Structure 1
Amino acid sequence: MHAIRIAFYLTGLLILSFGVTLTIKSDLGAGPWDALNVGLSTTIGLTVGSWVIIVGLILIVINALLLQEKPDVFAIFTILIVGGLIDFWLLYVLNQFDPTGLLFKIIVLMLGLIFLSLGIAIYLQAKYPLIPIDRFMLAIQHRLKVNLMVAKTIAEITALILALLFKGPIGIGTIIIALSVGPLVQLFFPPLERLRKKWS
């Protein structure tokens, strides 16, 4: 049972990070949080994956304060894996990949969106602690007593404002990703849940 959960967890993070990398490479705008990490990397230095880890650590502390509970230590492993994988894809696998032409960029963005959403739906099957970004949404919901959609919107707008401040890659892709990830995860989740239960 644990082996299956770990397999879903690691596979999901691998696919998720590949999707994030494709959205960045599309040059049409990354998701708000990924745009923030790219902006921080460009403005201050360090790799995008390093900023995934740093921002994740900051969010773990913020989430603990908002939820009035101990920091989610296990989530540190998640952000270390995701940060490392994003740098792996960006620096070693797709470092020479530079889509040209609007149609090709749109295809890359759409593929990135699909992989990103699929990866989230897979990693959620493991029932392990959430990525700090997802936990932040729940912490906002708890603190402000709003529904999940409002909490997600607040979290995404927060990241978007910060990404703009640090000159992150904001574009039409950012809006598409922000609006589409939730529905796509909802689409992928049920069949993956059935698959996990079958294998368990």
Structure 2
Amino acid sequence: MAFLYRFLFFIIGLFIMTFGVCLTIKANLGAGAWDALNVALTRWVGLTIGTWVMIAGGVLIIVNAILLRKRPELLSVITFVVIGSMIDFWMSNVFGNLQGGHFIVKLGALILGLAIIGFGASIYLQAKFPLNPIDNFMMAIKKRLSVNLMVAKTIGEVVALIPALLLKGPIGVGTIIITFAVGPFIQLFFPYFEKLMQKLEA
């Protein structure tokens, strides 16, 4: 029964989180670094944003294995395939024809998207399933370079930000807001779902 709860938290959390990711992209004030890179690759090469999420995930699994000098975390494939599929679902079925409005509307959409990302991530993390490769990349940098989590996260974001800028991805003020605000939103919701999971597993 505990596994079922964890699985439901995993799927529901990612379903909600990816909705928030798509909302931040559609707010058109600047996406998160990795999302901006995926959007840029979609514009230049083709394929869907979700497909690029999966391709980037596959590359990062190999990079993480090299950095950590261990076998690739193949179970992470499940996570990035689910994330990529859900992003394509939301972009095609909900956000396909959505157009940006005034700055206040865009800012509201961005902040709402961030809150939804934090809400969904707080649920998905309770499952304690394999992390998505971007999160693992941050942890690999932390361990390999012996830096703290904040520095590792910054390095990880810059790795995506540079090619996103070169490819003229959607980088803007929203990118900065997302970089610094996602963590606090996750921290806001995390304790509630942690307690809920503990009650369900008791």
Question: Shift of residue 92 of structure 1?
Answer: 1.7
- 1:198 counterpart letter in structure 2: K
Q: Which residue of 2 aligns with 1:185?
A: 186
What is the alpha-carbon distance in structure 2 between the residues aligned to residue 40 and residue 167 of structure 1?
10
- 1:148 counterpart letter in structure 2: L
> What is the correspondence of 1:1-200 to structure 2 with a 5 Å cutoff?
1-200=2-201
Q: Out of 183-192 and 11-20, give the one that drifted further.
A: 183-192
Unaligned runs of 5+ in 2: none
- 1:77 counterpart letter in structure 2: I
What is the alpha-carbon distance in structure 2 between the residues aligned to residue 167 and residue 122 of structure 1?
33
* TM-score, structure 2 as length reference: 0.97
Question: Shift of residue 78 of structure 1?
Answer: 0.8
* TM-score, structure 1 as length reference: 0.98
Which string of whole-angstrom CA distances, capped at 9 and with x for unpartnered residues, describes residues 3-59 of structure 1? 000011001110111011000100000111100100110111111000000001000
Q: Out of 90-99 and 137-146, give the one that drifted further.
A: 90-99
Look up the SS of the partner of 1:73 in the other structure: coil
Unaligned runs of 5+ in 1: none
Which string of whole-angstrom CA distances, capped at 9 and with x for unpartnered residues, describes residues 141-171 of structure 1? 0100111111011101111112112211001
Aligned residue pairs total: 200
What is the alpha-carbon distance in structure 1 between the residues aligned to residue 179 and residue 92 of structure 2?
25
Look up the SS of the partner of 2:99 in the other structure: coil
What is the alpha-carbon distance in structure 2 between the residues aligned to residue 157 and residue 183 of structure 1?
20
What is the percent sequence identity of the aligned residues?
52
Look up the SS of the partner of 2:127 in the other structure: coil
Question: RMSD value over aligned CA atoms?
Answer: 0.8
- Displaced runs of 4 or more, over 2 A: none
Q: Is the 8 A contact 1:43 1:167 kept in 2?
A: no
Which string of whole-angstrom CA distances, capped at 9 and with x for unpartnered residues, describes residues 120-161 of structure 1? 111110011101000000000010011111101110111111
